[in-house]
Every structure is written in C-alpha cells, then in structure tokens.
Amino acid sequence: MKTNILKEKSYNFALQIIRLCQKITLEKREFVLSKQILKSGT
C-alpha cells in the first residue's frame, strides 16, 4: 500500500507547529502570538 506523502508531511508540520506554540507559551509567556501561529499553521 502506498503512503500518502502529502498527508504525512502536513501531519508532521502540524505537530511541529503545536510544539512551537507550547514552547512560546511556556518560555516567553506570549499567548496571543502562539494562538495566531497555531491557527494559521494547523
């Protein structure tokens, strides 16, 4: 069975965005920016 490369890459990108938002929220205490990144990235 073929793997869907686009689906896999977009899923990994979404996971990276979520991790970035968590890091920004915890380390920098920047909530507005992290929410905007989360909305646009996922």
Looking at the chain, how many residues does it have? Answer: 42
| 37 located within any domain | yes
| 6 located within any domain | no
pLDDT the model gives residue 5: 93
| Rg of the chain (C-alpha set) | 13
| Residue 23 to residue 4: CA distance in whole angstroms | 29
pLDDT the model gives residue 13: 93
Domain hosting 36: range is 16-42
| 41 located within any domain | yes
Q: Are 37 and 17 in contact (CB under 8 A)?
A: yes
Tell me the whole-structure pTM to 2 decimals. 0.77
| 11 located within any domain | no
| 23 located within any domain | yes
pLDDT the model gives residue 42: 79
Q: What is the mean pLDDT of each run of 10 residues along the chain (42 residues)?
A: 87 93 90 89 83
Please give the DSSP secondary-structure letter assigned to residue 25. Answer: I
| 1 located within any domain | no
pLDDT the model gives residue 1: 63
